[in-house]
Structure 1
């Protein structure tokens, strides 16, 4: 740890203790759960008195994040979108994370509104409901009415949440630096992961970004369909910590479905088979249009964020997290789906490696076997029987097993597709959602072959070639001039050479001590052991020589064991 990190460590010492106490508690419970016969195995219990050892490892991780507070809950929700890192099982468990936090008192909400909108903010409103409509880890929502009678909702950031997030991210940064020193964790790049999460959290803390997203999606969806509505923000009343937007009059689909079940049978007119079919198909087409036509998508399409409005239209909420994919990534996704359909496992393997960040130790033969099995399982399924969620989860499992990390936007897209498929299943969609996917893929493939795209591609290649031929001659001349003047330098950097050099130096020192000790013993340098009579054949043994021999022998044995543990003792166990 760097010296510059000491003030930060001291500043967050209390939070460090709290986090380590929670991690120690759940870590010990996880360790004890492996031993059925221990009498104190059930000593750690949750708030309801149930022993933690009775929960699965994934459930204990979720419970630990819940105990650690809002920042870690939000981080868990972000990790739920990265099944390539945490695996499908833990990812599915983390989706259950909900911020069970007490709402801020209305006095704190008013203080935030005064600070953000000014002392006269009440003159803009006829009424503000003191009871929150919804509460989350970062903010809470209140109903309100503007002076012109417009019904709105106010999303207000929680008091001191920015300071809490900053403090927790500093602690997580310290933990990530420690994890970088552990070979098993270092492969996942913990520091880079924490940095990405910190960026995502900072974006969610800025309600100004969500306001921009609302405006962009409103314009985009209005040109695509008149059956979709997103809340319209009141720009003059929006700041970094306050977001005022239209209230959509309707019910969340989660509530509609729960109210519609009676003995397991849907009975409400609004959710009859024909209307559910139409609603499900509309949702699928909207989200696939976002992906394949716009390259911009709403990242969390669960039932709570989708509203069924009174006029029958669909409302979409919560644009704090959106995803963007560029044309290259979109084309790669289209090619991957084509490879699955045609059974081209070699091409699919190359695409996975091209899109993802593969570790240097990747076993390509094992990856090819897993991909071949994946294609064999899902490539021959009929569209009506295709399990999109199962396919996406198995693909996530393959990525996790081979430590292949996806770019953040690719992982967000994967999470969105899994969530979308789950939403359509909850709706009981009576249509083939994969057939719609194939329609969009065929449309995208035709677009790729269009003359307009070819002209645009040729223009890009021409501009890049022009830049290349302008820059390269100067660079070549510079290299030739440096070589003529003898200024050419070649810098080689060997990874992980430090431990090797340390072991070599330690081995040389142990050998030198061994030789010196041998001389001390041979020359009988005092002080001596057994100077008068022989004991077990030993007489006049130099104390320093004997100690030196024992120390050098211990160091040599330790080096031998360390090299053996690293797997590089003999040629047969080299990577």
Structure 2
């Protein structure tokens, strides 16, 4: 540990103790759940009195993150978007994470509004509902009415949430540094995950970014205003900690779905006949695929709680704190991957996954190719109307997790969004071919890739890069030649993961030296001696020190042999 980290550790000592208490409680419960006969197996219970040992491991992880507070809930929600890291089962469980927090008192909300909007902010409003409409880990939402009669909602950041997040991120940073030292965790890059989470939380804490996202998506989807509505922010009443936007008159899709589960033939009476599950699902699919394939910018959290069914039958989308962006190269790679699945080309699919993902040095390419061949054989032959998109995405996530292939953050966010979107379709019980719509957009994207305009733009980019390369290379070559002439060139070699190998080699040399020395002791009959008289085994005047040295060196060499065998590198057939 660096000496500069000591003040930080002391400052967060109380929080460390709280975290360790929660982890110890759920960790012991997880260990006890493996032993059915222990009398105290059910000693750890949740708030409702149910023994923790009766929950699955994934459920215990979710419950522990919930007990640890807002920052760890956000960590779980972020990991839910990374099934390539945590696996599809835990990722599915982490999607259930919701912040169960008490709302701030209205007095604290008014203090925040006063600090952000000024002491006379009440002159802008006719009414502010003191009872929050919704509460989350970062902020809470209140209904309000402006002086001109416009109905709005006010999203206010929770008191002291920035300090809490900063403290927890320091703790998580320390945990990540410890995890980097464990080989099983280091492959996933814990420090990188914490850094990404810190960036994401800083963005969510800045409501100015969400206001900007609302404006961008409002302009982007203006041509589809007959199908979708994005809340319009009131720019002059928005700050870093306060967001004021139009209220959408409707009800969450989750509440509509509860009625739809009871009777899938009809929705509630408030919904127009045009907005049946089939049309609604098709409209949602087209809106989100337009975001992905046409704009490269998408709303990353399309669960049923963030989707509103308005009174006029249109779709309203909420919560733009988390959005994803994909560049043209990534979008084209995704299109090629879908084409490989459709044509059954697993070799091309393997190369694309290696190109788009961060593969570990110990990747077994032959085993990955076998898993992808089975994946393509299962889903590449399915008819469009029978294609299980959720199953395909979850199985692909499981393959990536099994082979420790880490996707770029935006690719993982897109994967999570597609799984969440398909789950919403299933909840709606829609009987339409979602994959057929995907193929329409892919076909349109492929035609756009072949268009002369794109070819001209691509040729221009290649020309500019080649021109820059030709201008740069001669100077670099001359610099290298000058350094070589002056004898200033240096070659730096950095070894990775050679520590255990070097230690084994040194230990083997020492064991060999002890063996040779002990053999000399035996040959020269160095006292003290055993067997002064010759026995039936022909042993006579054996040096005790020599025998002990040979036994010790043989034991060390046998231990080294077993250790090398366990690592899988004993013969050439086991090499990576």
Q: Distance in 1 between matches of 2:569 and 2:435?
A: 49
Structure 2 gaps of 5+ residues are: 531-538
Give CA deviations for 1:226-250 in whole Å, capped at 9, x if unaligned.
3211111111111111111111111
Q: Answer whether contact 1:273 1:430 (CA < 8 A) is retained.
A: no
How far did 1:320 drift?
Answer: 0.2
- Conserved in 2, the CA contact under 8 Å of 1:261 and 1:267? no
Partner of 1:533: none
- Distance apart, 1:323 and its partner CA: 0.3
1:311 aligns with 2:284: no
- CA pair 509-251 structure 1, distance change in 2 beyond 3 A: same
CA distance in 2, matches of 1:236, 1:42: 56
Q: Write the deviation string for residues 468-513 of structure 1: whole angstroms up to 9, x where unpaired.
A: 1111111112222222222222221111223333444455566677
Spell out the pairing of 1:532-547 with structure 2 (5 A cutoff). none
Name 1:17's counterpart in structure 2: 17
**What corresponds to 2:222 in structure 1?**
222
Cα distance, 1:201–1:345 mapped onto 2, change above 3 Å: same
When residues 117 and 427 of structure 1 are mapped into structure 2, their CA distance, relative to the original with a 3 A threshold, is same
Hey, what does 1:376 align to over in structure 2?
377
The 1:547–1:138 alpha-carbon spacing in structure 2 relative to 1, beyond 3 Å, is farther
Distance 1:311 1:200, change over 3 A: same
Which stretch shows the higher mean deviation, 472-481 or 391-400? 472-481
The 3 A distance-change label for structure 1 pair 368 and 564 is closer
Alpha-carbon separation, structure 1, partners of 2:121 and 2:94: 39
Q: 1:47 to 1:451 in 2, by over 3 A?
A: same
2:517 & 2:414 partners in 1: Cα distance? Answer: 66
8 Å Cα contact 2:272-2:312 kept in structure 1: no
- Residues in 1 aligned to 2:321 and 2:431: alpha-carbon distance in whole angstroms: 31
Q: For the residues of structure 2 that align with 1:489 and 1:547, how far apart are their CA atoms?
A: 49
Contact in 1 for aligned 2:525/2:542 (Cα 8 Å): no
Partners of 1:414 and 1:91 lie apart in 2 by 12
Match of 2:232 in 1: 232
The 1:361–1:155 alpha-carbon spacing in structure 2 relative to 1, beyond 3 Å, is same
Residues 546, 347 of structure 1: CA spacing in aligned structure 2 closer, same or farther, 3 A cutoff? closer
Residues 163, 516 of structure 1: alpha-carbon distance in 2 compared, 3 angstrom cutoff:
farther
Tell whether 2:121 aligns with 1:121.
yes
The residue aligned with 2:364 is 363
Structure 1 CA distance for aligned equivalents of residues 249 and 401 of structure 2:
42
Other-structure match for 1:136: 136
SS of the aligned residue for 1:141 comes to: strand
Match of 1:3 in 2: 3
- 1:556 Cα shift? 6.3
1:495 is aligned to 496
Find the residue that maps to 1:437 and give its secondary structure: helix
Is 2:335 the counterpart of 1:295? no
Q: Give the Cα separation in 2 of the matches to 1:340 and 1:462.
A: 33
Gaps of 5+ in 1: 531-536
User: Is 1:387 matched up with 2:388?
Assistant: yes
SS at match of 1:144: strand
Q: Provide the residue aligned with 2:322 in structure 1.
A: 321
CA displacement 1:254-299 (0-9 Å, x = unmatched): 1123245546653535275863322221111110000000000001
2: distance between equivalents of 1:118 and 1:552?
Answer: 80
What SS class does the counterpart of residue 231 from structure 1 fall into? coil
Partner of 2:535: none
The within-5 A match list for 1:32-181 is 32-181=32-181
The 1:251/1:538 distance shift into structure 2, 3 A limit, reads: farther
CA contact (8 A) 1:83 1:91 kept: yes
- Does the residue aligned with 2:34 lie in a helix, a strand or coil? coil
**CA distances 1:524-571 after superposition (whole Å, capped 9, x unpaired):** 89xx999xxxxxx9999999x999999878866765655454444555
CA separation of 1:106 and 1:517: change in aligned 2, threshold 3 A: farther
Look up the match of 2:533: none
2:466 corresponding residue in structure 1: 465
Distance of 2:130 and 2:274 partners within structure 1:
40
Q: Which runs of 4+ in 1 moved over 4 A?
A: 260-265, 271-274, 503-525, 537-543, 545-565, 569-573
Q: Return the alpha-carbon distance in structure 1 between the equivalents of residues 498 and 105 of structure 2.
A: 57
**d(CA) in 2 for partners of 1:112 and 1:541?**
86
For 1:384 and 1:27, the matched residues in 2 are separated by 44
Distance 2:572 2:267 in 1: 70
- Kept in 1, the 8 Å contact 2:157–2:242? The answer is yes
Give the TM-score, by structure 1 length.
0.92
Measure, in 2, the Cα distance between the counterparts of 1:163 and 1:361: 41
CA RMSD, aligned part only?
2.9
Q: Which SS does the other structure have where 1:192 is aligned?
A: helix
Residue 458 of structure 1 deviates from its aligned partner by 0.5
Partner Cα distance (2:115, 2:369) in 1: 58
Are the structure 2 counterparts of residues 12 and 273 from structure 1 closer, same or farther at C-alpha, using a change threshold of 3 Å?
same
CA contact (8 A) 1:260 1:271 kept: no
Q: Is the contact between residue 568 and residue 575 of structure 2 (CA under 8 Å) also seen in structure 1?
A: yes
> Displacement, 1:34?
1.8
Equivalent residue pairs, number: 571
Match of 2:155, SS state, is strand
Q: What is the distance in 1 between the residues matched to 2:108 and 2:232?
A: 26
TM-score (norm 2): 0.91
